[in-house]
Amino acid sequence: MTVTLAQECGMLQRIKVKQQWASAYGAAAAREDFGEAIWKAVFAQSPESVSLFTRVNGANPKSPEFKAHVARVNGALDMSISLLDNPATLSAALSHLNSAHKDRAIPSNYYDVFIDSLHAVVPAALGRCFDRAAWNACSSVIIEGIRQ
């Protein structure tokens, strides 16, 4: 018999994700490496997704344009995660991000590819303390707020 327990993104999970994100995301130059790892994973899972990033030179992930894009995405993710324990402000931020992404007509499945990539890179940075259930629940709050 298999039992699956769905976990909510409650306050404890939100605080845990915030803490784990701060540890994994790091500071300064480590953030650039962290972002590069996420996008390597995205493009490895979905090579055709590179075509979505022609405006930011996605074909050359080492380019200044793509590095700036990665910094913007990481900044938006950092902001969203930091607002997990402030639902009203998080909702407003996600609404703004939703508008920006609708303009770019990003197919829905690529949000899942991004989250899968994030969920591969964060535990690699954290080690065994990664709480997959909390990350699944709380990253769903963020990604669904952007994707809707």
CATH of the domain at 126: 1.10.490.10
Position 48 in a domain: yes
Specify the number of domains making up the chain: 1
Output b/e per residue, 29-55; b: 16+ Cβ within 10 A: eebeebbbbbbebbbeebeebbebbee
Average pLDDT over all residues of the chain: 92
> Residue 66, Cα to own-chain centre: how many angstroms?
16
For the stretch 83-108, pLDDT in tens is 999 999 999 999 999 998 888 888 88
Contact 146, 101 (CB under 8 A): yes
- 96 annotated binding-site participant: no
For the stretch 32-78, pLDDT in tens is 999 999 999 999 999 999 999 999 999 999 999 999 999 999 999 99
